Amino acid sequence: MPPVSQTVRVKVLFFGRLKDVVGQSEESLDLSDASTIEQLFALYAGRTPELAKYRSSVVASRNQEFASWDSLLHSGDEVAFLPPVSGG
Amino acid sequence: MTAPLDHDDIIELVREPIDALPLIRHVRAPEDGAIVTFDGFVRNQSHDRATLYLAYEAYESMALTKMREIAAALHEKHRIHRVAIVHRLGRLEIGETSVLIAVSAPHRAAAFDACRFAIDTLKRTVPIWKKEYFEDGAVWADGELPPAPVATPRAKPAS
């Protein structure tokens, strides 16, 4: 049986300077197939090439927990891309 | 989604000025002997440039989760009684408090250690960002990259 392609709907958030770079803070996105956080970031870097240069100074979260770049996304996930934090 | 708070701690993000006294009163109890507070407030300069004001923003749901985790870690690691951690968001003027931490304990050493751990961990792990406004523009402050898992552990394929 061929693998069934499923739509994965995720909510994507950008903060701080990343929000300025991509020009939006929040988007709901339908991914056509199982994707990782890395692939999601690459998708945005494809739209906004300047974003790629921030890759090494970004951490990602999935459902409000820091997540590795190889995390697989599931429908309903909330993913955020976070620049270095500067609270306090 | 978020675990209920034990210990009667106060963990908040606010947009109004932070009043330290009610927070200090809240953590104070007859069985304690010490309270250590940390009052972080807006400095009038940054890297030798005069700051006009700051603007803080947060990933609020995650920031609150991370602040609660800090409080839980304090109770686990130190013999303390109650914790208050309040961070302000939005525009802050010079001299205004951005973060207030108060820790009560039976004895001072635990309160000092816990308060120091709380602010150090907050600055490294809580998703809050500050933008510094100067006469000639604004910049996002340099920050710290929170530690994140390097790779997701996966089940090994059966051999």
* Average confidence score pLDDT of chain B: 93
Q: Taking a C-beta distance cutoff of 8 angstroms, is the pair B54, B119 a contact?
A: no
Residues of B (107-146) whose Cβ lies below 8 Å from A: 119, 122-131, 140-146
Mean pLDDT value across residues B35-63: 97
Residue B121, pLDDT score: 98
Q: Taking a C-beta distance cutoff of 8 angstroms, is the pair B24, B38 a contact?
A: no
- Domains of chain B: residue spans and CATH: 10-135 (3.90.1170.40)
- Partners of B116 on chain A (C-beta within 8 Å) are none
Mean pLDDT value across residues A52-68: 97
pLDDT per position as a tens digit, B95-148 = 999 999 999 999 999 999 999 999 999 999 999 999 999 999 999 999 999 998
Assign A4 a pLDDT band (cuts: 50, 70, 90).
low
**pTM higher than the cut 0.95:** no
Residue B156, pLDDT score: 55
A35 and chain B: CB distance < 8 Å anywhere? no
Pairing of strands B10-14, B83-88: parallel
Question: Is the Cβ pair A66, B147 closer than 8 Å?
Answer: yes
Q: Count Cβ atoms within 10 A of the Cβ of residue B133 and give its class: 0-12 exposed, 13-18 middle, 19 or more buried.
A: middle
Closest CA to A27 of A72, A80, A69: A80
- Domains of chain A: residue spans and CATH: 8-82 (3.10.20.30)
